Amino acid sequence: MPEDAEVVAVASPTPGHPEELAKRYGIPRVFHDYREMLREPDIEMVTITAPNALHKQMTCDIARAGKHVVCEKPMAMTLDEADEMIDVCRQQGVLLMYAEELFFTPKYVKAKEMADQGAFGKIHLIKQSEKHFGPHSDWFWDVNRSGGGVWMDMGCHGIAFCYWFLGRPKIESVYCQMGTYVHKDKTIGDDETIGIIEFANGAVGMVENSWARRGGMDDRIEVFGDAGVSYGNLHMGNALPTFSERGYGYAVEKAPSTTGWSYPVFDELWNYGFPHEMRHFARCVRGKETPQATGEDGRVVLEAVYAGYASAGRGAKVALPFDTKGMTKPIEGWRGKGAK
Tell me the three state secondary structure of residue 222: strand
With both helix axes pointing from N to C terminus, report the angle between 156-165 and 106-116 in degrees, rounded to the nearest 10.
Answer: 30
What single letter denotes the amino acid at residue 222?
E
Distance of CA 73 to the CA centre of its chain: 4
In whole angstroms, give the CA distance from residue 126 to residue 225.
9
Strands (E), the chain: 9-11, 29-31, 45-48, 68-72, 96-99, 123-131, 171-179, 192-199, 204-210, 218-225, 228-233, 242-244, 260-262, 318-319
Please check the confidence at residue 239 and state whether its pLDDT lies above 60. yes
| Separation CA 143–CA 303 (nearest Å) | 17
* Averaged pLDDT for residues 79-98: 98
Phi, psi values for residue 45, rounded to 5°: -140, 140
- pLDDT number for residue 337: 61
Residues 6+ positions from 314 with CB-CB distance below 8 Å: none
Give the count of beta carbons closer than 10 Å to the beta carbon of residue 44: 15
Instruction: Tell me which residue of 205, 115, 190 sits closest to 160, measured CA to CA.
Output: 205
Residue 246 has pLDDT above 90, yes or no: no
Q: Which residues contact 24 (CB under 8 A, 6 or more apart)?
A: none
How far apart, in whole angstroms, are the C-alpha atoms of residue 212 and residue 178? 12
The answer to whether the pTM exceeds 0.85 is yes
> How many angstroms separate the CA atoms of 215 and 255, rounded?
5
Rounded CA separation 270/284 (Å): 20
Confidence of residue 11 (pLDDT cuts 50, 70, 90): very high
pLDDT at residue 270 above 50? yes
Mean pLDDT over residues 223-227, rounded? 92
| pLDDT for 338 | 47
Angle at Cα 301 formed by Cα 297 and Cα 304, nearest 5°?
145
* Across 176-199, average pLDDT: 98
Mean pLDDT across 250-276: 81
Alpha-carbon separation of residue 131 from 186, 211, 233, 312 (angstroms): 18, 6, 12, 19
Question: Quick one: what percent of the chain has pLDDT higher than 90?
Answer: 81
What is the distance between the alpha carbons of residues 306 and 147, in angstroms, rounded to a whole number? 10
Q: Give me the pLDDT at residue 256, please.
A: 80
Residues in the chain: 340
Euclidean distance between CA atoms 297 and 207, whole angstroms = 17
Query: Sorting pLDDT into bands at 50, 70 and 90, what band is 125?
Result: very high
pLDDT the model gives residue 240 = 64
Question: What is the spatial distance between Cα 251 and Cα 320, in angstroms, rounded to a whole number?
Answer: 41
